[in-house]
A = this chain, B = another copy of it.
């Protein structure tokens, strides 16, 4: 039987099986809460309102119920929701809106600053408007098309530190299969008894499809709203009895610091899933002390969401990104393109393919060609990540190709050094970059944020001695300089902005 794996099948579950299930959405003022039944009624109103729109509808919004309604309503019409990173510069927003061809842009009101600076002529609608003002005919609400499963549902642009953002389209099919895979016991194992909080932004990589997966199985969904800080996340977890939360390592680093200081009760919380950058082992250990498991996941804009999960609670194993989920396949290749052994030692570029991996970029043939290769096994996407893979398929990201440091003709892994520095108790965050050096080509330099109580008390040599004491690195790996800073520059998706960091170090040296 032909059965489209589309969002209408998700809507069916929400309307027929889970009407009474709950959704909580944090606002600036407090919390809104409603049922799946009320959500789907809003979705049908919005869909009705958007019938006349063009093929691509833009959103610039936080993790809120209104954004969730757009997540469903726009694709249900066979149109594409273009989620725009709220941290983009207005020039980047102009670029992606024009490239995507948005006919309307819905935005959260606190983003009016960016919105008012845009040059694009796209129509802008604040997200506080009520959909139901727009409904003329209630009959129409019941007829939604059975969208072909390979049709695009969500469009997301990368926030690469180099070059212009590149668009990636997620289809109904890829969302459905990825969401189903998230429910697997060896992945997240979300069930109808869980309370799930995606602290990864819905404006980027569809919040890893975690909202869709939660709705698919009838979990209670907690949306942390605009600009959530550690206190807001902790309050939601405590008061809504969150069992699973998903977010980038930086989110959980400051969260963990906060909950330890404030002695927050995390008894409902079973699982933190983190990814987007390598989480420090201190995160695993910190949460373990509080009785919470931490899973390490890996994905990128081009793989829609996560493609691996590592549930190991052993520090050494935890540092790996994990093995591919059902529906995804990996390989590791040498620069000319031949497969390398999966021995946990030989490193090369990670290649991915699968049911939710992109085959190329939106309207960008040149970049698409550059990022994919065909071999005997078919089409693969080139990740640009340097990895090893072990005999059980566990991937370890050694570095980004462009972030490796080449010193005296040898490679130094900035990621390894960063993690080693963060194992040092007084350190909150660290980043290591290569800076030009006359003698060695490049040399590593570390930017370090000490924990509040250690500010001003820590010396450069303390950090260097810590690294040496680990007996893990050759002497020439130890960074030449350790610079103490209050914060590390981040990209719009919360990753450490190495391009900006290198530039500021160079400014310091001048």
Q: Which residues of A approach B to under 8 Å, CB–CB? A: 1-3, 5, 9, 12-13, 16-20, 146, 177, 179-181, 183-186, 189-192, 216-218, 323-324, 326-327, 329-330, 342, 353-355, 357-359, 378-379, 381, 391-393
Contacts and interface: CB of A to CB of B under 8 A. Distances in A.
A359 B183 contact: no
Contacts of A218: 186
B327 A180 contact: yes
Contacts of A379: 1-2
Nearest to A19: B391
A1 B180 contact: no
Given A19-B391, A326-B183, A392-B17, A5 B355 contact: yes
Contacts of A185: 183-185, 189-191, 217
B329 A9 contact: yes
Closest 5 CB pairs of A and B: A1-B359, A183-B184, A185-B191, A17-B393, A185-B189
A367 to B, nearest CB: 15
A184 B176 CA distance: 13
B3 A355 contact: yes
Given A1-B357, A3-B353, A183-B184, 15 more contacts: A1-B353, A1-B359, A3-B357, A5-B327, A13-B324, A17-B324, A180-B326, A180-B327, A183-B183, A184-B191, A185-B190, A185-B217, A186-B217, A186-B218, A217-B326
Nearest to A219: B186
A181 B342 CA distance: 29
A48 B358 CA distance: 33
A493 to B, nearest CB: 22
A189 B354 CA distance: 22
A185 B185 CA distance: 5
20 contacts: A1-B358, A2-B359, A3-B353, A3-B355, A5-B355, A12-B329, A17-B392, A19-B391, A146-B378, A177-B180, A180-B181, A180-B184, A180-B326, A183-B185, A185-B191, A185-B217, A186-B191, A186-B192, A186-B218, A189-B191
Nearest to A192: B186
A381 B2 CA distance: 12
B354 A3 contact: yes
A329 B146 CA distance: 14
Contacts of A359: 1-2
A181 B184 CA distance: 8
Contacts of A323: 17
A180 B355 CA distance: 13
Contacts of A180: 177, 180-181, 184, 326-327
Nearest to A389: B16
Nearest to A355: B3
Contacts of A329: 9, 12, 16
A189 B183 CA distance: 8
A170 to B, nearest CB: 11
Nearest to A21: B392
A191 B177 CA distance: 18
Contacts of A378: 146
B393 A16 contact: yes
Given A1-B353, A17-B324, A357-B3, A217 B184 contact: yes
A79 to B, nearest CB: 21
A18 B393 CA distance: 8
Contacts of A5: 177, 327, 355
Given A185-B191, A393-B17, A3 B217 contact: no
A1 B152 CA distance: 12
A323 B355 CA distance: 26
Nearest to A146: B378
Contacts of A358: 1
Given A1-B359, A358-B1, A9 B327 contact: yes
Contacts of A181: 180
A342 B358 CA distance: 40
